[in-house]
Chains A and B, each alone.
Chain A
Amino acid sequence: MAAPTIDHTIGEILNLAASHFKVPRERLTPDDDFFKTLGIDSLQALDLLTRLEQHFRIELPDYELQGVSDFRTLASRIQSRL
C-alpha cells in the first residue's frame, strides 16, 4: 500500500490534536506552534506523540520531537516512518 501524502498526514494530525486537546479544528493550521495553539507543555506534547503513534501504528523515539514545535515538521517526522 502506498504511503499517504504529507498533506493527508498533516490533516490527520490536526484532526487528532483538535479532538484530543478539545480545540476547534478550524483554529489549527500546519505551521502553528502546537505548544502555543494547543496551550500545552512538553509533557503534554509527549502525550500527543503517543496518540499519534497509536493512530499511525508506528514507534517514534522521544528525540524525534526535540526542537519540533509545528505540525508540519512533526508530520514529516511521522511520514518518514510510515
Chain B
Amino acid sequence: MLDLHQYASLGAALKDALERWPNETCLIEADRDREKVRLTYSDFKETARPLCRALQDADFKAGDQAAIIMTNQSKWLISAYSIFFCGGVLVPLDYKLSAAEHLQLLAHAKARFLVVEYYLWRAITQSPEFAKLTAQIVLVTEAPPGADLRGAYRWEEFKRKGEPQFVARQREDTACIVYSSGTGGRPKGCVLTHDSYLEQCASLTAWYPFGPDVRYLSILPTNHAIDFMVGFIGPFVCGACVVHLRTLRPEFVRDAFVRYRITYVSLVPMVLKNLERGLRAKFDELKPGKRWVLDRLIGLNKMLTRGRPHVAISRRLLPDVHKAFGGELRALIVGGAFTDPSTLQFFYDLGIPVTCGYGLTEACTAVSLNDLQPFRADTVGKPLPGSEVRILNPDGDGIGEVAVRSRAVMSHYLDDPELTAQTIVEGWLLTGDLGRFDLKGREHLQLFGRKKNMIVTAGGKNIYPEDIEAAFDGLPVKEYCVFAADYLWPKKALGDEMLVLVVRLEQNQEFDDKLRDEIVTRNRRLADFKRAGGYLVWEKDFPRTASLKIKRGELASEIATGAARESIAQI
C-alpha cells in the first residue's frame, strides 16, 4: 500500500495509486447479473482525465465545493476523484433524502457543482424549492435520450481534451463536508480535512491491510462515512478492487459474493440480521442427522477460533456456509449502528469474523475497532492507533460520556461555531454516547446508550427529532414535540431506539380516531426510517422560553418523571 504519511491530500494519494497499480482492477460495476463496467487503475485514470479537464475549463477551482448525490456506482468514484484532483471540496449527500432536503443541504454547503443521477435530478427539478438551487454546474448521469435536463449537462458528455493540471492541497485544507444529520433543525456539516482522512486511513489499514488481492463489495452508500473510507479511499490506496452493485436485492448480493470472490464487505446491522435470519432458516430445514453434524462442526470451529480467527480452518470445517459467501470472505465489517452481540457471535462461530467498530461522522470514520485478537462480541473494539478515548464523569459502573481526541476528528461544523464549541471541548470530541472500558483488561470499549436526543436506526441512519417535527406542522393539537424515547427514559443499553411524538391537546379536546389517523398519515409522509414509533399525550403545557421556543430539556425532565415509557402508544 501507499505510505500515506508522504501525502498532503487525498487527491495526491489517489493520483499516485492510479499510477502505482496500472494493471490491477480497481472497480467493477454490475447490474443484476450483468457486468456493466470493469476498470483497471489505468482505465480509471483515463476515464477521469477528460472530466478533470472539463471541470477545470468550467472554472472549477481549488476549494470549490462539489456535491455528489448518487447511488453506489463507478461514476461516483470517478467524479469524487476528479473533484479531489482539481483541489475541490467534496460534499457527499445521502441519496435517500428528499429533493427539498437535497436543495437545503446544497445551499448550506454552498455547492457550486453537483453530480447527480438522473432520477434524483428529476425529483430535484420537480421540487417547489427548485428555484433555490445554488449549484451553477450540474452533471447528470444516465439521462435518457431527449430528457429535458433543465440546464444541466450530461455527465457522459462533459469531457474536454487536453491534460488537466493537478491541484495540490495542504493537509489542513478541507477535503469533505459530510452531513451527520438531517435537515429539520440545524444541518450538521462536519468539515473534515485531508489530514483527518489520511490519518484515519493509515490507522485502519495498519490493522486491516488491504492489497491487490482484496475485493471489497460496496453496498453501504458511498456517501456514508464507512463506505467512503472502506469502499473507496482505503481500497484505492492499497491497489484493491471495489465492486458496486446497482441493485441491492438480497439474491443479487448473494450472487456477487460468489461471482467476484468477495474478501470484505461492510454492512449495517439490519443487513447482518437479515443474513442471520436466512442462514438460521436454512439450518432449520436440515434433516436432524445433518443438523446434528452441523452443530458439532460449529462447536468445533468455536473451540478452534476462541483466541483468534482461523479462516482457512473454518472454511474446511464448514464449507457450505463459506461457499455461500463466495468462499474467500475474510471478514464482515459492521458499523453504523448498534449490533446485537448474539448476531455477531453467530457469524463468528461459523468462522466468519465480524469486525465490529464504533465511529461517528464527526470522527471521520471509526474511533474503535475489533482487532479480533480475541473477538469480543460484547464490545466495539479497541481505540484505533492515534485515537485517544476518555470516559467523562463515569458513574459507579464506570459508564460516562465517550470523548475522543485524534487527528481524524473533524475540524468544525460548517458555519456553526456555537455547536462546534459545544461539541469539541479543549480538543476532545464529546460524542454524546455513553460507554466504558470493559472491566477485564480495560482495553475494549463498550457502549451503553446515548446522552443526546437522537436515535440511530438499525440501518445506520442518525435521526434527530428536529428532522421529523416539520412533518407534524399544523397537527390539530395545542402543541407537540418529538423526543428520542431513550433520551426521556435513559436505559443502559442500545438497540430498539424510537422517536416519540409528544402531544398536548387543547382544553376540552379529546384524543379521537380522527386525530390518531392524522398522526399516522403525517408520519407516513416521512421516509420509512425517519418515522416516529409512538405517541404520548401529555397533560401539561410545554415550558417555553421568552421567545416561545420549547424548553426541550425541561420538558424532557418533566415527561421522564411524570410518565412511564410504557405509556407510549404505538403509531
Contacts and interface: CB of A to CB of B under 8 A. Distances in A.
Contact of A61 (B247, B527, B529): B247
A69 B524 contact: yes
B459 A42 contact: yes
Nearest to A64: B119
Interface string A51-65: 000000001011100
Contacts of B149: none
Contacts of A35: 528
B185 interface: no
Contacts of A50: 249, 251
Contact of B274 (A33, A41, A62, A70): A41
A35 B251 CA distance: 20
Interface residues of B, number: 21
B524 A62 contact: no
A21 B57 CA distance: 55
Nearest to A43: B274
B411 interface: no
Contacts of B374: none
A61 B251 CA distance: 14
B96 interface: yes
B524 A33 contact: yes
A59 B246 CA distance: 13
A44 B32 CA distance: 17
A66 B96 contact: yes
A7 interface: no
Interface in B119-141: 119-120
Nearest to A66: B96
Given A41-B270, A63-B119, A46 B528 contact: no
A40 B113 CA distance: 38
B297 interface: no
Contacts of A43: 250, 270-271, 274
22 contacts: A33-B524, A41-B270, A41-B274, A41-B458, A42-B270, A42-B459, A42-B528, A42-B529, A43-B250, A43-B274, A46-B248, A46-B250, A49-B249, A50-B251, A59-B32, A61-B247, A62-B71, A62-B246, A62-B248, A63-B71, A66-B96, A67-B527
Interface of B: 32, 71, 96, 98, 119-120, 246-251, 270-271, 274, 458-459, 524, 527-529
